[in-house]
Amino acid sequence: MGYANEDLTISKSNSWQMFDAISPRYDLLNHLLSFGLDISWRRQLVRFLSDKRGSGRVRSLLDLATGTADVLLTLVRGNPHIEEAIGLDLADRMLALGRAKIIQARLQHKITLSHGDANHIHFEANTFDAVTIAFGIRNVTDHSQVLREMHRVLKEGGLALVLEFSLPRQTVWRVLHLFYLRTLVPAIGGILSGHPQAYRYLSQTIETFPYGDDFCALMGLCGFRNAKAYPLAGGIATIYVGEKGQ
Ligand SMILES: C[S@@+](CC[C@H](N)C(=O)[O-])C[C@H]1O[C@@H](n2cnc3c(N)ncnc32)[C@H](O)[C@@H]1O
């Protein structure tokens, strides 16, 4: 793929700074570059949360790398059982935009955002019914570390949901998608955000992320049982589901 691992590692450990820089255009570019699909992908998370089997309804929720809070807003609007939802991110400007949206939606009594690192979650073990991360785990250097942290803070029987970009298996769709990622995404994203390197980083991290069965295997190694992958839009994105328990 032609990308030095060292470069990727450096940009990943500082990726929150890049997200702070592009924050004013982040939501717009998300919707534009995914043709609005990102909205429906986040909505799919609601279904997985509502389908939760075993220990009952989700009342407490933690969303890692929460950004501008779109996942939390979607999940809280879509699931009346959630009483407390917390979002963590390292990018304070992304969080500020998220807080404004939460106030506008009058959901301050349910949703709180705070500065926090997905690699070292500042909550005790066995705290949440569900932990989510959308388009976030791709941006950390050690995916296992974040998965282990998600597992630690989940209650027994709790549910982990990971929404992340992936690559289509079908050859023609894959070639077309890679062309889009490598050419149009950096061009359009670069012009509209003023940060072309941020959108080159997007395609680099997508191409090097372990998706599908590989990611399910990683979830298993990090303690999750019944880890399953649900590809979306022919494999452009995938929802991974795993449970904490025996
Ligand atoms: C692509 S955005 C996803 C935001 C949001 N989840 C969404 O669905 O739009 C990735 C986010 O991960 C955050 N991030 C990167 N590394 C992080 C870390 N170690 N801990 C917490 N957040 C992190 C960035 O600041 C950024 O807001």
Say yes or no: CB of residue 223 within 6 Å of ligand 1.
no
Say yes or no: CB of residue 242 within 6 Å of ligand 1.
no
Say yes or no: CB of residue 140 within 6 Å of ligand 1.
yes
In our burial notation (b when 16+ CB lie closer than 10 A, e otherwise), range 122-143 reads eeeeebbbbbbbbbbbbbbeeb
Report the distance separating Cα 163 and Cα 43, nearest Å.
Answer: 11
Report the distance separating Cα 43 and Cα 210, nearest Å.
Answer: 23
Ligand 1 centroid – CA 103 distance (Å): 20
Say yes or no: CB of residue 91 within 6 Å of ligand 1.
yes
Say yes or no: CB of residue 48 within 6 Å of ligand 1.
no
At 11, which helix (H) or strand (E)?
A: helix 5-13
The pLDDT of 210-220, averaged and rounded, is 97
Percent of the chain with pLDDT over 70: 93
* Beta-carbon count within 10 A of 172 CB: 8
The pLDDT of 194-219, averaged and rounded, is 92
Q: Locate tokens 């500042």: which residue?
A: 122
Ligand 1 centroid – CA 51 distance (Å): 26
| Contacts for 145 with CB less than 8 Å, ≥ 6 apart | 119
Residue predicted with more confidence, 233 or 201: 233
For ligand 1, atom 10, name the residue with the nearest CA.
136
Say yes or no: CB of residue 94 within 6 Å of ligand 1.
yes
For residue 131, the model assigns a pLDDT of 98
Structure tokens belonging to residue 195: 């940060």
- Sheet of strand 154-165, all strands in order from the earlier edge strand to the far edge: 111-115, 84-89, 60-64, 128-134, 154-165, 237-243, 225-232
For residue 246, the model assigns a pLDDT of 72
Do residues 65 and 89 touch, judged by C-beta distance below 8 A? Answer: yes
pLDDT tens-digit series, residues 81-136? 999 999 999 999 999 999 999 999 999 999 999 999 999 999 999 999 999 999 99
Q: Where are the beta strands (DSSP E) in the chain?
A: 60-64, 84-89, 111-115, 128-134, 154-165, 225-232, 237-243
Say yes or no: CB of residue 70 within 6 Å of ligand 1.
yes
Say yes or no: CB of residue 118 within 6 Å of ligand 1.
yes
Ligand 1 centroid – CA 172 distance (Å): 30
**With respect to CATH, is domain 20-167+209-243 assigned 3.30.70.2740?**
no
Ligand 1 centroid – CA 217 distance (Å): 23
Domain boundaries, the chain: 20-167+209-243
For residue 1, the model assigns a pLDDT of 31
Ligand 1 centroid – CA 108 distance (Å): 21
pLDDT tens-digit series, residues 17-68? 889 988 999 999 889 888 999 999 999 999 998 866 545 689 999 999 999 9
